[in-house]
């Protein structure tokens, strides 16, 4: 019995030695290598993908805003109606589905008519510009309550027609001040409609006004939301200590 037990013990020791030798023959992977492998795998998984969307109907501005809300980044070419999107693979799948749902005939660009009135408030005794038209009397009444100038006059009326997703600009010569004409360059980077269909958003609105006897041009630069059909004062520009220019904007969606 003792001889058998000894033989079994020797066999066990031999097997253990072989297992240990086999284990040692396989080099262990260090923690540093494992971490590097995991980082590379995660990097491949999270690597951003790029895709170009060419829109048929949807407003590029709205689509860009949606892409950013869904976790992507986007650059747009308004004239070509093209949007270059960068996002992680999972987010890109969601963005593709959202764009597909938005870019339908019902989302076709809408025509928008903008009416811009330049109203000057002044304490000067001499008349400038022209009389206030009847449709602006309510607006001027509100201005008088906030800015009690002695006189309010209309300096210019500017009309501009554009489409959602497109930029537009125009030039106009209005009233006379100091024996010179007030010249205005008015433009927008892009117009879009809010989801309610009744709010017009104007991105990058810029009014550059040459006022005679003032060395530097007057400027108003803003992005604004305007309820369709409402007359809204979108800016006040100081001209001198006794004069200020107010920009009154109205937007209409043309079917």
Predicted local confidence at residue 234, as pLDDT: 93
pLDDT attached to residue 29 = 56
pLDDT of residue 166: 83
Query: What's the pLDDT band for 119 if we cut at 50, 70, 90?
Result: very high
Residue of 1 and 195 predicted with greater confidence = 195
Q: What does the alpha-carbon distance between residue 36 and residue 94 come to, in Å, rounded to a whole number?
A: 30
- How sure is the predictor about 7, in pLDDT bands with cuts at 50, 70 and 90? very low
User: Residues 14-18: what's their mean pLDDT?
Assistant: 50
What mean pLDDT is predicted for residues 163-183? Answer: 86
132: pLDDT strictly greater than 90 = yes
Percent of the chain with pLDDT over 70: 83
Packing angle, helices 89-102 and 60-69, rounded to 10: 150
Label residue 177 exposed, middle or buried (CB < 10 Å: 0-12, 13-18, 19+).
buried
Residue 129: pLDDT band (50, 70, 90) is confident
What integer best gives the mean pLDDT of the chain? 84
**What pLDDT score does 85 carry?**
95
Burial class of residue 65 in the structure, from the number of CB atoms within 10 Å of its CB (0-12 exposed, 13-18 middle, 19+ buried): middle
How high is the pLDDT of residue 39? 67
- Exposed / middle / buried, residue 133 (Cβ in 10 Å: 0-12, 13-18, 19+): exposed
Question: Model-level pTM?
Answer: 0.63
State pLDDT tens for residues 57-113.
888 888 998 999 999 999 988 778 899 999 998 899 999 999 999 888 877 778 999
225-249 average pLDDT score: 93
Specify the pLDDT at position 195.
73
CB 234 within 8 A of CB 248: yes
**What is 47-107's CATH number, 3.30.365.10, 3.40.720.10, 3.90.1150.10, 3.30.1370.120?**
3.30.1370.120
Sequence ranges of the chain with CATH classification 3.30.1370.120: 47-107
Cβ within 8 Å of residue 79, ≥6 positions away? 166
Alpha carbon distance 139, 151 (integer Å):
14
Buried b (16+ CB within 10 A) or exposed e, 33-52: eeeeeeeeeeeeeeeeeeee
Tokens representing residue 68 in the block: 């950013």
Q: For residue range 17-49, list pLDDT tens digits in order.
A: 455 544 454 455 577 766 777 766 665 656 789
pLDDT higher than 80, residue 6: no
């Amino acid at each position: 019995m003792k001889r058998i037990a000894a033989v079994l013990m020797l066999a066990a020791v031999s097997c253990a030695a072989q297992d240990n030798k086999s284990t040692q023959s396989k080099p262990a992977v260090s923690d540093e290598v494992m971490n590097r492998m995991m980082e590379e795998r995660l990097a491949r998984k999270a690597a951003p993908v790029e895709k170009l969307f060419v829109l048929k109907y949807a407003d590029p501005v709205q689509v860009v805003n949606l892409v950013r809300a869904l976790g992507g980044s986007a650059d747009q070419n308004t004239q070509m109606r093209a949007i270059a999107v960068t996002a992680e693979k999972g987010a890109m799948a969601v963005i593709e589905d959202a764009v597909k749902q938005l870019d339908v005939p019902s989302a076709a660009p809408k025509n928008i008519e903008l009416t811009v009135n330049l109203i000057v408030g002044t304490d000067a005794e001499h008349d400038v510009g022209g009389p206030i038209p009847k449709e602006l009397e309510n607006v001027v009444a509100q201005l008088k309550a906030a800015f009690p100038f002695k006189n309010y006059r209309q300096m210019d009326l500017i009309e501009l027609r554009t489409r959602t997703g497109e930029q537009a600009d125009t030039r106009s010569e209005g009233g006379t001040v100091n024996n010179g004409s007030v010249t205005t360059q008015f433009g927008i980077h892009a117009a879009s409609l809010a989801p309610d269909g009744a709010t017009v958003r104007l991105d990058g609105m810029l009014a550059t006004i040459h006022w005679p006897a003032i060395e530097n041009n007057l400027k108003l630069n803003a992005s604004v939301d305007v309820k369709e059909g409402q007359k809204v004062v979108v800016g006040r520009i100081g001209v001198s200590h006794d004069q200020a220019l107010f920009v009154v904007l109205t937007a209409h969606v043309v079917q």
